[in-house]
Amino acid sequence: MQFTAQQISLIIGGRIEGNANATVTSFGKIEAAQEGQLTFLANPKYEDYLYTTKATIAIINEGYALERKVEPTLIRVKDAYSAFAQLLQKHQEMVTQQMKGIQQYSYISESAQLGEDVFIGAFSYIGENVKIGNFSKIFPGTYIGDNVIIGENCIIHPDVKIYHDSVLHNHVTIHAGTVIGSDGFGFAPQADGSFKKVPQIGNVLIEDHVEIGANTTIDRATIGSTCIRAGAKLDNLIQIAHNVEVGNSTVIAAQAGVSGSTKIGKNVMIGGQAGLVGHIQIADGSKINAQSGVSKSLKEPYSAVTGSPASDYTNALRSQAVFRNLPELEKRIYELEKIIKQLMAERVNFGVNGE
């Protein structure tokens, strides 16, 4: 990669302050960037580094007021963090676009259909009737089961397993070790105390622009589809059970678990290690704090909950404040009890002596 400040400003819609012909070939953190690197400043915590960084070009917010002279060429944008992310995305696309063709020792069924400029990495397995869209990249060691459909511009990283009948739309990214379409956890209790497996004959549907982290599992539906809607982002080590629906642009952090048939609305934020029971509904825009246990539906849109069992976030904070003060409150109650006993004793004595 080699870009000038002028070229970068055209990509991200920025305004240049300094040398428009300054050139960069790589990226760097603002506190460690060297000459020839591009960096950015979005967090005020790091603003002192703007005056000491050796980066050649720095992206900053439009309204940032300089306290003194800076060495890098500046590109001002509305949102430095988003602009930098856009450039990283552009760089990644340039790298992956160069990956084409089929590496040796891959198995591709004769009935599979591969689009234009598809990449299939070594030791991959492509099953019967699989369809892979234009420009999609399948990294080494990946298993794609029968009848799977993968759209255009998808990236499937190493050792991903996609079971039969799963459907991925366009611009889907799945990171290493993730399993899509494994059986849902369905077992019927029997009279003798044993469990009989309920066949899972549904599939998994993943819509456009979804990204799924490493070692996440998404179970196929018993009947119908487990659905991950457009724009959703799932972190590493997440469990999504059968017949769950994750709404548009919802984000779920690592180690969270969602039980069967739960419906999560759009623009929901779920913190790490949160757990959701089955057969509940989570309203649009809900925020579930890390390590929360959600045992009932959240019906009010854009509400926030925390704790286990999860309760209103603001009320929970108030309760925590009271809890922290319990030792002091206990002491004050004890002192008040002593005063009351003393007053009662004085009253009795006054009554006796007053006669």
Give yes or no for a contact between 271 and 289, defined as CB atoms under 8 angstroms apart: yes
Amino acid residing at 157:
H
The torsion angles phi and psi of 192, rounded to 5 degrees, stand at: -85, 5
Instruction: Report pLDDT for 314.
Output: 82
Instruction: Report pLDDT for 97.
Output: 76
Q: What ranges in the chain are assigned the alpha helix state H?
A: 5-12, 80-97, 313-324, 326-354
Domain boundaries defined on the chain: 3-97, 160-314, 327-354
Residue 242 bears catalytic tag: yes
User: Using one digit for the tens of pLDDT, what is the confidence trace for 100-147?
Assistant: 899 999 999 999 999 999 999 999 999 999 999 999 999 999 999 999
Amino acid residing at 31:
E
Q: Which residues contact 134 (CB under 8 A, 6 or more apart)?
A: 115, 116, 117, 118, 152, 153
Instruction: For the chain, list residues with pLDDT below 50.
Output: none
CATH classification number, 3-97, choose in 2.60.40.2470, 1.10.10.10, 1.10.760.10, 3.40.1390.10: 3.40.1390.10
Instruction: Report pLDDT for 351.
Output: 65
Q: Which two tokens stand for residue 34?
A: 């060297």
Considering 91, 169, 242, 279, which one is annotated as catalytic? Answer: 242
23-24/3-4 β-pairing: antiparallel
Q: How far is CA 320 from the centre of its chain?
A: 28
CA-nearest of 38, 43, 78 to 57 is 38
Instruction: Report pLDDT for 354.
Output: 56
For CA atoms 155, 272, 255, 227, the dihedral sign is: negative
Instruction: Report pLDDT for 91.
Output: 84
CA-nearest of 11, 24, 92 to 58 is 24
Cα(273)–Cα(159) distance, integer angstroms: 24
Does domain 160-314 fall under CATH 1.10.10.10? My reply is: no
Cα(329)–Cα(325) distance, integer angstroms: 6
Amino acid residing at 182:
S
Give yes or no for a contact between 166 and 200, defined as CB atoms under 8 angstroms apart: no
pTM of the model: 0.82
The count of residues in the chain is 355
